[in-house]
Amino acid sequence: MALSQYCIELINSSRSSFVWKYFGELRTRDGNVPLPQNHDQYYFCVSCLNSSTVITDVHRYKKSVSTGNLQNHLIVKHKIQEKKTKCESQKSVLEYFKSTGTVTRPTHSAKGSRKKVETDDITLWFARDMLRFDTVTHSGFRDFFLKYNVISNRDLLHVI
């Protein structure tokens, strides 16, 4: 049976993912061609239909599939990726935590603002290195911060 007798009806909806330009429901061009069993439970790939010779080579996914799985199929099988238009002001999470290679310490006019900057820096350090937050209970961590007067003994006991 020739694949030219099949077509894929794209989903017209308010779905925002780009994958819906490539997946839809299988239909026949005329009513005389039988559809695969349970075809109505699946989304079929348009790119596979255009490049395959038999219907069994057309990838299909249950309608309960996540768009991430459909996107992975497009990337791996067809080298199709979404073209993102990201504002220059937007940063990805990885870009935010990326090390700059230099350490700058702002000048502080008050002890409170210095503590906030140090707390923010410690939080950023833990996030970049993916450290568990219970690291602060380890003796090496406490000794380091006591030695360099980052935190006082009283403050340390209050936190822990």
Residue 79 identity (one-letter amino acid): K
Is 22:74 a contact under the CB 8 Å cutoff? Answer: yes
Say yes or no to pLDDT of 74 above 90: yes
Spatial separation of the C-alpha atoms in residues 132 and 105, rounded to whole Å: 25
**22-56 pLDDT, tens digit each:** 998 888 887 666 777 888 898 999 999 888 888 78
**82-123 pLDDT, tens digit each:** 876 555 455 555 566 666 665 555 555 555 677 788 778 888
Q: Which two tokens stand for residue 102?
A: 């230099």
